[in-house]
Amino acid sequence: MIQDQGYLDFDEYIRQGEPSKREAAYAWSTAIGLQAVDGLKTSAYLNELARRNIEGEITMDEVSKSLDSYYESKIVHEADDDGTEEADKASKNIKKILSTVTLDFTTNGFINTHRRIFEGVFKHAGELRKYDITKREWVLEGDTVRYLNWEDLRRALDYDIKQEKEYSYHGVATEDVVKHLTGFVAGLWQIHPFREGNTRTTAVFTILYLRSIGFNVENDLFAKNSWYFRNALVRANYKNAEKGIDYSPVYLERFFRNLLLGEQWDLRNRFLHVHAPKEWGVQPNLATPTSTRTSTRTSTRTSSIVSGFNSNSKFYTDNEIIIELVRVVGNDELSVKQMMELAGLKHRQNFLEYHLEPALREKFIRRKFPDNPNHPRQKYLLTVKGLALYNELINLEN
């Protein structure tokens, strides 16, 4: 008999599972957890298919075929079947997307993310809305965010994505990296270009983007806090001068601080209400991150950054070799030969194996031509994650 399962059942896989199972569990837990933003829940049948996929018993093609057959052959229909079918099929599609490593960071790429999530779910998957919308929000006591008018949707998407693509993280402090990413995601969501599924599309696109610029976000924060994520987006985009309410991006920023810096803000929706009672008035940080983690491999030169940096942060590493390579690359684009010369190293194979590959694997450094590792003009530069570490190094040294 199939037992009903939710994302909480994936915790053990995420914490202790072998890499392939951990990655699959992360993708499934996020895919299923994101359905809560629209008040949807997946079926026991989908959750069992997810478990079997994580265990390697069935492929994603088999999941798709089984799920289609399940709904095609279902005779007795219950009142909430439409919502459950949407949740099941959208979850399956999101899992497929999160299992890939590619991202088309363009307006078309964002629109195609919506299409891929809701293919087989909405007839209007991947289509921009052609009317203006409002939505009554609990956190706003029934008021709505002012979403963009439908005539300007593509122009706004083009502008926001172009601005982010051109933004330079060189010299930007870690705190400001988080604030900037918060602003970008909030602005992208406020456009609300689709009839339905905007928050799920924004979340998936954000995860793919964070990965592409060097961050490892394979945890259950989106899965367990998807409703908070949505309400934080609402508060970041709501202003009512008559009621004395200003834009409040701080709640969304705290979500990203938990995600990227390892902080532990209490992400409960009660703190986001525009007129929260006194007992909900202050959102607590459940723990103040400290860094007691050190490494015997760390030299005197880099010990200050290791001891002073939050070890839960996605910007952190205690690997002296990676730290030194990040210092060498800095704001430049360098070839392997140039990096070796600046680092004072002569053995190419050792450099590739013990210096460059770990930095690439941990996403502190990226290739200029990622699709062609052997490109004759290949250069290496820091990711946003690498730049954040480099900026911390420079700040400490100054």
The domain limits of the chain are: 1-100, 123-289, 300-397
Closest alpha carbon to 237 in 185, 169, 286: 185
The answer to whether 263 touches 289, Cβ cutoff 8 Å, is yes
Residues 6+ apart with CB under 8 A from 62: none
265, β-bridge pairs: 285
Q: Which stretches of the chain drop beneath a pLDDT of 50? A: 1-8, 289-300
CATH: 3.30.70.1150, 3.90.400.10, 1.10.3720.10, 1.10.10.10. Which one for 300-397? 1.10.10.10
Q: Is 339 exposed, middle or buried (0-12, 13-18, 19+ CB in 10 A)?
A: buried
What HEC string does 156-174 produce? HHHHHHHHHHHCCCCCCCH
Q: Cα separation of 108 and 283, whole Å? A: 37
Q: Cα separation of 145 and 305, whole Å? A: 42
Q: Cα separation of 340 and 43, whole Å? A: 55
Q: Cα separation of 262 and 252, whole Å? A: 15
Phi and psi torsions of 365, nearest 5°: -130, 145
Q: How many CB atoms lie within 10 A of CB 394?
A: 14
What is the pLDDT at residue 8? 46
Find tokens 């007129």 and name the residue.
Answer: 275
Global pTM reads 0.83
Q: Cα separation of 233 and 34, whole Å? A: 14
The gap from C-alpha 74 to its chain's centroid, in whole angstroms, comes to 35
Phi and psi torsions of 124, nearest 5°: -95, 20
Q: What is the residue type of 175?
A: E
What is the pLDDT at residue 293? 33
What is the pLDDT at residue 320? 85
Q: Cα separation of 392 and 169, whole Å? A: 12
Reading the block at residue 123, the tokens are 């007839």
What is the pLDDT at residue 167? 95
Q: Cα separation of 338 and 336, whole Å? A: 5
Closest alpha carbon to 359 in 319, 314, 306, 394: 319
Assign domain 123-289 to its CATH superfamily: Fido-like domain (1.10.3290.10)
Q: Cα separation of 313 and 219, whole Å? A: 13
Q: How many CB atoms lie within 10 A of CB 356?
A: 20
- What are the start-end ranges of the H helices in the chain? 11-16, 19-33, 44-54, 60-72, 81-98, 107-118, 153-166, 174-191, 198-212, 221-224, 226-236, 250-261, 300-308, 320-329, 336-343, 348-351, 357-361, 384-397
Q: Cα separation of 255 and 225, whole Å? A: 9
Reading the block at residue 215, the tokens are 């961050």
Closest alpha carbon to 257 in 280, 234, 232: 232
The answer to whether 134 touches 147, Cβ cutoff 8 Å, is yes
